[in-house]
């Protein structure tokens, strides 16, 4: 009969209507500024610069090699290499970026900068509250706004960060071992040197 399906549908919508007042589980809406969904680990939007330790200028991993700048497809990264060298987090003197800007209005979130970085210095962020009333200055992120600590990285991408940390620690240990071996070799060389004379 005409109207049977209509009545069934009407009953369903009525159940939804009253049910949404009774049980909050029915409501799929997240009241955005006040409540937020937990951030998804696999999410990524814009790049940021990782620093070790507490001081963002001291611990910056970036050595201004400019690979990301060259690889960036929409050319949204701008780097100016420093003239001098500063000790990095490991105390090793390195170049550092005097200027590091990313225009996130141009960035297409492709993650290529992250893929090519040999120093694990640039990673993808999950922060989405980036709207601003200044569409030029507000979307051109400078070095300070881009710098985020390794702790933050561990918090937003735990699995990925653990892997990176392990790799970096391994590399550091290997380099330390190499340095140690080198110094030992030099020490033995200096010990042996007087007997063999100057190598010419």
Partner 1 sequence: MTHLAQFAQQFDQIFVLAKHWLLGYVPAGAQPLCSAVLSVAPIIIVFPLLFAITTLLERKGLGRIQNRYGPNRVGPFGMLQPIADGVKLLSKEDIVPITADHAVHFLAPLLLVSASFMDYAVLPIGRNMVIVNLNAGVLFFFAVGSLMELAVFMAGWSSRSKYTLLGAMRAIAQMISYEVPLVLASIVVIMQAGSLSTVSIVNMQATYSGIWPHWFVFTPWGFAGFVLFMVAATAESNRSPFDLPEGESEIIAGYYTEYSGFKFALFFMGEYIGMFATSGMAITLFLGGWSAPFSFLTWIPSYFWFFAKLLALIAVFIWVRGTLPRLRMDQLMNLAWEFMLPMTLLNLLTAGIWHFMPAGPSRWLVCSTMVAVPCILLSRGLKHKKKFQVHTYHYSE
- Contact footprint for partner 1 (CB under 8 A): 1-3, 6, 9-10, 12-14, 16-17, 19-21, 26-29, 31
Shorter beta-carbon distance to partner 1: residue 19 or 73? 19
User: C-beta of 131: minimal distance to partner 1 in Å?
Assistant: 16
CA distance 176 to 158: 26
Shorter beta-carbon distance to partner 1: residue 14 or 108? 14
Give the contacts of 161 (CB within 8 A, at least 6 positions apart): 150, 153, 154
User: C-beta of 13: minimal distance to partner 1 in Å?
Assistant: 4
CA distance 92 to 88: 6
Residue pair 122/113 in contact by the 8 Å Cβ criterion = yes
Shorter beta-carbon distance to partner 1: residue 3 or 194? 3
User: C-beta of 40: minimal distance to partner 1 in Å?
Assistant: 22
The DSSP secondary-structure symbol of 82 reads: -
User: C-beta of 34: minimal distance to partner 1 in Å?
Assistant: 11
Shorter beta-carbon distance to partner 1: residue 6 or 40? 6
Residue pair 119/165 in contact by the 8 Å Cβ criterion = no
Instruction: Show the tokens assigned to 53.
Output: 């330790």
């Amino acid at each position: 009969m005409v109207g049977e399906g209509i009545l069934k549908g009407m009953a369903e919508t009525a159940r939804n209507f009253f049910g949404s007042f009774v049980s909050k589980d029915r409501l799929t809406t997240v009241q955005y500024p006040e409540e937020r969904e937990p951030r998804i680990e696999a999410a990524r939007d814009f790049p940021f610069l990782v620093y070790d330790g507490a001081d963002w200028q001291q611990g910056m991993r970036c050595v201004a090699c400019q690979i990301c700048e060259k690889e960036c497809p929409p050319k949204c990264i701008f780097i100016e290499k420093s003239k001098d060298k500063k000790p990095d987090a490991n105390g090793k003197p390195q170049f550092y970026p005097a200027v590091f800007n990313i225009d996130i209005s141009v960035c297409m979130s492709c993650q290529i900068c992250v893929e090519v970085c040999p120093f694990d210095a640039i990673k993808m962020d999950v922060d989405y509250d980036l709207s601003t009333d200044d569409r030029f200055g507000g979307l051109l992120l400078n070095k300070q706004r881009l710098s985020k600590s390794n702790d933050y990285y561990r918090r937003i991408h735990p699995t990925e960060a653990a892997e990176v940390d392990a790799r970096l620690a391994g590399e550091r240990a290997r380099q330390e071992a190499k340095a140690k071996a080198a110094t030992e070799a030099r020490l033995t060389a200096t010990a042996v040197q007087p007997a063999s004379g100057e190598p010419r």
